[in-house]
Amino acid sequence: MSQIKIDKKDFQAKFQKALEGIKWDLIEALQNKLTNEHGKDTGALSSSIARHSKVEGNTIIIGMAEHGKYVEFGTAPHMPPVDELEDWAGRKLGDKNLKWAVAMAIKKRGTRPYPFIRPTFQNELQGIINRNLKDAFK
């Protein structure tokens, strides 16, 4: 009778290596999707993904700055804090005084969604998992 023995410690070490690889590849994919398809303002959201993501036990936790959900899903019409739009208006529109116009547009229409999380998980996660498991268990 043939047997295959799997060393538990070796398996666990390889599995942890795969999880770390999956985490970093997923972070990179999210950052690429965010930057390449939706542009880059300050880079704060993109860099927050790496800072807030981790592996705990057998779980990969992907975290990011709070405003990531507003980028992903957009917002309903609301009145934003006008002064917080000043720097953005200066960078994106070339005139800090346009902060009021931007605020009024958000008050009227909200902000449009720029999905980067769901498409990354739907289109890239399976390949990332397969590649990292294959590499870890060579």
**E strands, 82-127, where?**
none
Nearest to 66 by CA among 51, 87, 83: 51
Quickly count: other Cβ atoms within 10 Å of residue 42's Cβ: 10
CA quadruple 35, 132, 66, 110: dihedral positive or negative? positive
Q: What is the pLDDT of residues 15-31, one digit of tens each?
A: 999 999 999 999 999 99
Residue whose token pair is 């953005």: 88
Q: What is the pLDDT of residues 103-123, one digit of tens each?
A: 999 999 999 999 999 999 999
Look at residue 106 in the predicted model and tell me its pLDDT: 96
Identify whether the C-beta of residue 52 lies closer than 8 Å to the C-beta of residue 74.
Answer: no
- Residue 55 reports pLDDT greater than 80: yes
- Residue 32 structure tokens: 């690429």
Q: Which residues pair with 111 in a beta bridge?
A: 75
Domain boundaries, the chain: 11-74+112-138, 76-110
